[in-house]
Amino acid sequence: MATSVVEYFTEHDGHRCGYCGSKDSNYSRGMWAHSLTCEDYEDLIDRGCRRSGKYVYKPTMDTMCCPSYTIRHKALEFKISKSQKKVLKKVTKYLTVENSGIDKKQKDDSSAAEVVSKEKTPGDDRTKLETERRNCNKTSEDNMDGACVSREQIKTSPPSVNVKPQFTRFLVDSPLEPGDEDDSLEHGYGSFHQQYWLDGVLIAVGVIDILPHCVSSVYLYYDPDYSFMSLGTYSGLQEIAFTRSLQKKAPSLKYYYMGYYIHTCPKMRYKGQYYPSFLLCPEAYTWVTLEKCTPKLDVTPYAKLDDSHAVDEPVDTSQVMVLHQRQAMPYMIYRAIKRNTDDHQTVEQYAKIVGNKFANNVLLYRA
């Protein structure tokens, strides 16, 4: 059975904030994830954590300048907005309608439209659409409220590794152990790159994690030459459609996580435009509809979002599982062995971040 192992870091320096530009008021705590099962990682994102490569961090919400609230969407209840519909129409038009040499038969044959590539004819500004069958997902068949999302070009593949170290560390490395416990998804669970191809050119890549209950968006990067296609919005819509298509095969997989919602940064509020949105309460760890949160966040950047009396459960450090000299043991045993250890505060801090369930399942490395 796969076991998750993490190493917790206590450093807590302020870093530059990418949202408001402040020099040193972006705080987070983090751990190096040597390995994580998809279930264990899901527990972490439901505690407000995110991963960057194999590093998993949690913003220190109550002290940072721009609190980062975990945002998720119920993919099955998704309602497309007018502006999102516009983006879809724009992209679809660009891909399929104007100047395309596609014939009627191809257009109607949606089953063959899993991967579409748009080719420019040399010396001619007209475009030709080609469809070809490849091993990829079928989000093309998933329409959202009549908005056509067909003929997109998504291929789901395990991340390739033959790339530069920094890219690898940030966008390819993943602590997630590919889970294949149930075979409802042909590609299984874990970390993937969704590639968007156009004219045989890779124009965007979405890094996603497919987990038991959700698709979690990690990062999107794209060729700036194609920014006119609003690829950020487009890929969000695609990933919601993708979640819906996976749900048909794996019924419990019904949420789409977009990472962090930053209310203090107007540019980052677009994530709240995917309806319905829910934010994770940073104190009760329950989900609250965005409409209920925004009046509070308009007043103060940090707020307990859940109005009920719900609070986080108290941590029990004695039951935190640790890995010491290749042996798994509860922290209380470790303390009995290492009598002079003074790491109780560290372990308590770790347990508060990850929660009891995670702390009781996952091994915390101790020297």
Supply the minimum distance, in Å, between the C-beta of residue 228 and Zn ion: 29
Q: Minimum distance between the CB of residue 51 and Zn ion, rounded to whole angstroms?
A: 21
For 336, other C-beta atoms within 10 Å of its C-beta total 11
**Choice between 302 and 358, CB closer to Zn ion:** 302
Position among 5, 17, 102, 303 found at the interface with Zn ion (CB under 5 A): 17
DSSP 3-state percent helix, strand, coil across the chain (nearest 5): 30, 30, 40
Q: Tell me whether residue 231 or residue 279 sits nearer to Zn ion (CB atom).
A: 279
Q: Which is nearer to Zn ion, 21 or 314 (CB)?
A: 21
Number of residues that bind Zn ion (CB under 5 A): 6
The identity of residue 287, as a single letter, is W
x/- mask, Zn ion, residues 61-90, rule CB under 5 A, reads ----xx------------------------
Q: Is 91 in the site for Zn ion (CB under 5 A)?
A: no
Q: Which of 2, 3, 7, 20 binds Zn ion (CB under 5 A)?
A: 20
Residues 6+ away with beta carbon under 8 Å from 107: 96
The DSSP symbol for 223 reads -
Q: Looking at 58-66, 117-125, 155-163, 222-230, which segment touches Zn ion (CB under 5 A)?
A: 58-66
Question: Which lies closer to Zn ion via its Cβ, residue 60 or residue 92?
Answer: 60
Q: Which amino acid is at 342?
A: D
Structure tokens at 179: 């889970």
Q: Nearest approach, Cβ of 65 to Zn ion (angstroms)?
A: 3
Report the SS3 class of residue 29.
strand
Work out how close the CB of 26 gets to Zn ion at its nearest, in angstroms, rounded to a whole number: 6
- Contact segment (CB under 5 A) with Zn ion among 21-29, 151-159, 176-184, 245-253 equals 21-29
Note whether 19 binds Zn ion by CB under 5 A. yes
Burial of 170 (0-12, 13-18, 19+ CB in 10 A): middle
CB contact at 8 A, 346 and 10 = yes
- Closest distance to Zn ion from the beta carbon of 288 (Å): 22
Q: Could you please report the per-residue DSSP string of 84-136? A: HHHHHHHHHIIIIITTB---HHHHH-GGG-SEEEEEEPTT---EEEEEE--S-
- Which positions lie near Zn ion, rule CB under 5 A? 17, 19-20, 22, 65-66
